[in-house]
């Protein structure tokens, strides 16, 4: 029975192949020449700029590169980039740029922000990369254009527009842990109109790093992504576009609570809709009106296995609504002005918040892109945000790039970034039932402490909630200086020096001790932190069929107040052998948790034009990072407080068939099966996948 269907399918394939012109599978595009000079980026300025000239450090990843590596989720491709680490946190896999936590990087799809963060972390595996054209990663604060959360940088996933005619395809990847990723897409485009649809299913059995415990490290899940995009050219000057995205994911969970097993399911749903109208009023003036609504909902129901009594039932609903108008005006040939304004309305309602909370905010931004001479590009801009709950923010930015010669461009920028206190830091009302600690947002702290006191649960008050200061936004000032060197088609070398000074960092601190020994925490604008370092990446086309590349980052991330205390001789440690107190020197201080001082990667790619075979192998090294404080001084200093550094090897092999209509792929991640079961949760060991993709295009 099944064989009949397979034969039918194959027959259809053959018919398509014979009857219609094939669209070349894009991964076979000639990669012999690095085309980055002519490539366009949009995220840096919200206008089109050339990658060589844009004065802001930006990395561009093409769909070709993603397909060659056989990667299908956003966390997989970002983990391999120079200067980017995927943080290992039980709340999710988030991105770390220039030493910042995941909460400080904005994730955009087609320029619109994704919502739905768990303790500030946006889970990157939620995003499929099968239907995209490219990813642009911007480093450095860009609150001058994007507002809050764009403090470390911005990751913009740009979806693909269809090619003319009827096109479509299917792709599947299956492998270790029963992880399957299946996509279907189809589109129709003519001169005035296109419509495209995309569907993806991503599922896995999860894995466990502690098989003897009977508990999963990552639980089984199954999720779907549906995307629809439509575009209509009303006339030569006006276009209208509508994008819709729906994502849903169900994940099982299992915990051990006081020697009883509790299990359940968690569901998350993410919905975005964005109608966009652009009108070119004159040759010089282009206006874009963008409406955006995004909702994110989670629900979880976990019960004890033996008697089905409820262990934890929670829900979380967040909505984000925005209207924005941007005007691009080409005042002169060498001076382009951009001005925009918008309003936002956000709400959150959850079991961990006392009632429905909402934010209203408005903003205006301005940017001037000036080329006084052809070699020099100066961009100056700023954004002003007003908010219903916290202080207004002004985020200016100044950037310039200078082409010393056609091969060498120097770029530098200075700017401010900020991150608003989020709903959690303002309104959270949460007690961890298993461990027993409580966390209250700033606005809830007073009422929360009072409630616990009435229930007799407070042993000591450390900080009177009445004395808590109002939370302000975290802010940073950053400097970036670097260059792009492209002496010939074969070599491309970039380097960037960065320094971020962050103030008002919101941290948790204990405000009371409970009778069960656990603490009550709230949020404070506590810290001054700085991150600085250097990042460099080079790729070289050794032969037509062989490309070698490598990248390296050196990072320092320190809490300024800890440094001041160390200088005053007030920070101590215990010698592990004698358990006696010792003073800490500056060289003992390991900096912020989760930051590796050294990371590097080496990439080798082989491509044979005749057979179309592409093989690549990448080595990614992550230096040791501090993950816990065991000597009780609140900082990372002793060797036992670090993980070990580790090296991962990823490889892929692909071959096109049937005149590039079909591509076969084998992908391997973590070939050497490196694990650190006790400490690092997002290394499941060796992962091997086999995949197949089919594309067609009838013009």
Partner 1 sequence: MNKFKTLSLALSGTIILLASSCSKNSDDVTPAISKLTTKTVTDLDGLTTTNVYYSLSTGSQITGADTTTAKWDIKFKGTSIFINSGTSGTGTTQAQIVSSTFETLTTAPTTGYKTDATGTPAISGWYTYTATTEPQHAILTVPGKIIVIKTSAGNYAKVEMISYYKGNPNTTTAEFANLATRPASRYYTFRFAYQGDGTTSLQ
Interface with partner 1 (CB under 8 A), residue from 192, 332, 391, 582: 582
Determine which residue in the list 121, 512, 571, 651 makes contact with partner 1, applying CB under 8 A.
Answer: 571
* SS3 labels along 576-608: CCCCCEEECCHHHCCCCCCCCCEEEEEEEEEEC
Mark 205-244 with x for binding to partner 1 (rule: CB under 8 A) and - for no binding: ----------------------------------------
* Spatial separation of the C-alpha atoms in residues 398 and 367, rounded to whole Å: 9
The span of 325-333, 352-360, 385-393, 583-591 binding partner 1 (CB under 8 A) equals 583-591
Residue with Cβ nearer partner 1 (399 or 458): 458
Q: Which is nearer to partner 1, 305 or 676 (CB)?
A: 676
Residue 464 CB, shortest distance to partner 1, in Å, is 14
Site string for partner 1, 586-625 (x = CB under 8 A): xx--------------------------------------
Nearer to partner 1, 237 or 586 (CB): 586
- Specify the stretch interacting with partner 1 by CB under 8 A; choose among 170-178, 269-277, 582-590, 644-652: 582-590
Q: How far apart are CA 132 and CA 449, in angstroms?
A: 49
Please tell me what DSSP assigns to residue 63.
Answer: H
To partner 1, the closest distance from the beta carbon of 459 in angstroms equals 6
Three-state DSSP class for residue 671: coil
8 Å CB contact between 299 and 266: yes
Bridge partners, residue 390, by sequence: none
- From residue 513 to residue 542, the character string flagging contacts with partner 1 as x (rule: CB under 8 A) and all else as - is ----xx------------------------
Question: Which candidate, 351, 292, 345, 343, places its Cα nearest to that of 317?
Answer: 351
> DSSP letter at 43?
T
Residue 580 in contact with partner 1, rule: CB under 8 A:
yes
Binding of partner 1 by 573 (CB under 8 A): yes
Interaction of residue 392 with partner 1, rule CB under 8 A: no
Binding test (CB under 8 A) with partner 1, winner from 581, 609, 672, 690: 581
583 binds partner 1 (CB under 8 A): yes
Q: How far is the CB of 570 from partner 1 (least distance, A)?
A: 6
Shortest CB 639 distance to partner 1, Å: 8
Q: How many CB atoms lie within 10 A of CB 591?
A: 24
Q: Report the site for partner 1 in 83-122 (rule: CB under 8 A).
A: none
C-beta of 237 vs 570, nearer to partner 1: 570
Give the SS3 label for residue 22: coil
Tell which positions 8-67 bind partner 1, by CB under 8 A: none
332: tokens are 């002169």
From residue 76, how far is each of 69, 129, 668, 670 by CA, in Å? 10, 10, 11, 11
Toward partner 1, which CB reaches closer, 473 or 571?
A: 571
Residue with the two structure tokens 């969970």: 253
310 is an interface residue for partner 1 by CB under 8 A: no
Number of residues near partner 1 (by CB under 8 A): 30
Q: Whole-number minimum distance, CB 582 to partner 1, in Å?
A: 7
372 vs 569, which CB is nearer to partner 1?
569
CB atoms < 10 A from the CB of 306, how many? Answer: 9
Cβ distance to partner 1 smaller for residue 358 or 450: 450
Q: Least Å distance between CB 574 and partner 1?
A: 4
Rounded to whole angstroms, the Cα distance separating 541 from 547 reads 4
Alpha helices by DSSP H, 28-173:
63-69, 74-78, 143-146
Whole-number minimum distance, CB 641 to partner 1, in Å? 9
Q: Is 431 in the site for partner 1 (CB under 8 A)?
A: no
Min dist. Cβ of residue 577 to partner 1 (A): 6
Q: How many Å apart are CA 212 and CA 210, to the nearest integer?
A: 6
Nearer to partner 1, 487 or 569 (CB): 569
Candidates 485, 436, 490, 444; CA nearest to 465 is 444
d(CA 183, CA 195): 17
Summary count for the chain: helices (H), strands (E): 7, 36
Q: Nearer to partner 1 by C-beta: 506 or 571?
A: 571
Which residue's CB is nearer to partner 1, number 331 or number 462? 462
> Cβ of residue 210: shortest distance to partner 1, in angstroms?
13
Shortest CB 312 distance to partner 1, Å: 17
Q: How far is 407 from 37, CA to CA, in rounded Å?
A: 10
Residue 435 within binding range of partner 1, rule CB under 8 A: yes
Using CB under 8 A, pick the residue from 459, 561, 564, 676 that binds partner 1.
459
Which of the residues 625 through 644 are near partner 1 (CB under 8 A)?
628, 630-633, 638, 640
Instruction: Enumerate residues 657-686 that contact partner 1 by CB under 8 A.
Output: 678-679
**Measured from the CB atom, is 184 or 593 closer to partner 1?**
593
What distance in Å separates the CA atoms of residue 356 and residue 348, rounded to the nearest whole number? Answer: 6
C-alpha distance from residue 593 to each of 124, 298, 637 (Å):
20, 29, 10
DSSP annotation string for 683-698: --S-EEEEEEEEEEEE
Binds partner 1 (CB under 8 A): choice among 201, 280, 293, 574: 574
Residue 256 tokens, joined: 């051990």
Using the minimum distance from each CB to partner 1, give the nearer residue, 294 or 519: 519
Cβ-proximal residues to 405 (8 Å cutoff; 6+ apart), any chain: none
- Name which of 139, 85, 123 is nearest 625 in CA terms: 85
Please tell me the distance from the alpha carbon of residue 177 to that of residue 684, in angstroms, as a whole number. 9
- Please check whether residue 36 is in contact with residue 486, taking contact to mean a CB–CB distance below 8 angstroms: yes
- Secondary structure (3-state) at 232: strand
Contact residues for partner 1 (CB under 8 A)?
A: 435, 459-460, 517-518, 570-574, 576-583, 585-587, 628, 630-633, 638, 640, 678-679
């Amino acid at each position: 029975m099944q064989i009949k269907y397979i034969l039918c399918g194959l027959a259809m394939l053959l018919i398509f192949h014979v009857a219609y012109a094939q669209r070349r599978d894009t991964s076979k595009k000639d990669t012999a020449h690095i085309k980055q000079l002519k490539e366009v980026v949009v995220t840096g300025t919200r206008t089109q700029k050339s990658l060589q000239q844009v004065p802001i450090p930006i990395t561009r990843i093409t769909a070709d590169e993603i397909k060659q590596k056989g990667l299908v989720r956003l966390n997989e491709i970002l983990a391999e980039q120079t200067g980017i680490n995927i943080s290992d946190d039980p709340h999710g896999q988030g991105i770390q740029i220039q030493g910042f936590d995941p909460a400080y990087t904005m994730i955009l799809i087609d320029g619109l922000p994704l919502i739905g963060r768990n303790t500030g972390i946006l889970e990157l595996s939620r995003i499929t990369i099968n239907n995209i054209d490219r990813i642009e990663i911007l480093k450095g604060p860009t609150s001058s254009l994007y507002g809050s959360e764009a403090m470390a940088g911005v990751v913009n996933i740009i979806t693909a527009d269809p090619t003319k005619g009827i096109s479509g395809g299917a792709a599947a990847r299956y492998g270790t842990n029963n992880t399957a990723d299946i996509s279907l897409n189809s589109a129709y485009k003519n001169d005035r109109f296109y419509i495209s649809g995309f569907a993806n299913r991503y599922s896995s059995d999860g894995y466990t790093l502690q098989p003897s415990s009977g508990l999963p490290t990552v639980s089984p899940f199954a999720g779907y992504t549906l995307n629809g995009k439509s575009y209509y050219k009303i006339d030569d000057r006006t276009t209208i576009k509508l994008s819709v995205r729906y994502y849903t994911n169900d994940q099982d969970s299992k915990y051990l609570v006081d020697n009883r097993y509790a299990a359940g399911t968690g569901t998350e749903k993410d919905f975005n809709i964005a109608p966009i109208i652009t009108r070119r009023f004159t040759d010089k003036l282009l206006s874009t009106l963008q409406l955006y609504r995004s909702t994110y909902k989670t629900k979880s129901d976990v019960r004890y296995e033996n008697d089905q009594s409820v262990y934890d039932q929670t829900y979380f609903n967040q909505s984000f609504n925005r209207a924005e108008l941007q005007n691009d005006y080409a005042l002169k040939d060498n001076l382009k002005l951009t001005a925009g304004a918008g309003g936002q309305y956000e709400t959150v309602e959850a079991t961990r918040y006392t009632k429905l909370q909402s934010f209203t905010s408005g903003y205006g931004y301005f940017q001037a892109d000036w080329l006084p001479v052809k070699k020099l590009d100066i961009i100056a801009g700023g954004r002003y945000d007003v908010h219903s709950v916290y202080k207004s923010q002004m985020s200016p930015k100044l950037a310039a790039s200078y082409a010393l010669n056609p091969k060498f461009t120097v770029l530098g920028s200075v700017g401010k970034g900020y991150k608003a206190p989020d709903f959690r830091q303002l309104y959270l009302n949460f007690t961890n039932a298993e461990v027993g600690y409580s966390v209250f947002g700033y606005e809830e702290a007073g009422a929360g402490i009072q409630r616990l006191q009435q229930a007799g649960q407070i042993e000591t008050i450390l900080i009177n909630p009445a004395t808590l200061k109002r939370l302000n936004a975290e802010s940073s000032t950053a400097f970036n200086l670097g260059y792009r060197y492209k002496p010939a088609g074969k070599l491309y070398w970039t380097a960037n020096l960065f320094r971020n000074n962050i103030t008002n960092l919101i941290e948790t601190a204990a405000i009371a001790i409970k009778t069960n020994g656990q603490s009550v925490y709230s949020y404070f604008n506590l810290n001054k932190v700085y991150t600085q370092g250097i990042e460099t990446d080079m790729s070289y086309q050794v032969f037509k069929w062989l490309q070698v590349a490598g990248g390296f980052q050196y990072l320092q991330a320190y809490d300024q107040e800890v440094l001041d205390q160390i200088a005053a001789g007030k920070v101590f440690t215990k010698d592990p052998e004698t358990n006696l107190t010792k003073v800490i020197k500056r060289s003992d201080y390991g900096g912020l948790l989760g930051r590796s001082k050294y990371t590097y990667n080496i990439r080798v790619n082989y491509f044979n034009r005749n057979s179309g075979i592409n093989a690549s192998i990448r080595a990614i090294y992550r230096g040791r990072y501090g993950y816990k404080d065991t000597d009780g001084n609140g900082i990372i200093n002793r060797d036992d407080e670090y993980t070990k550094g580790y090296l991962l090897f990823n490889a892929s092999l692909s071959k096109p068939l049937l005149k590039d209509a079909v591509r076969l792929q084998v992908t391997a991640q973590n070939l050497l099966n490196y694990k650190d079961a006790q400490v690092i949760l997002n290394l499941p060991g060796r992962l091997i996948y086999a995949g197949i993709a089919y594309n067609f295009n009838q013009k």
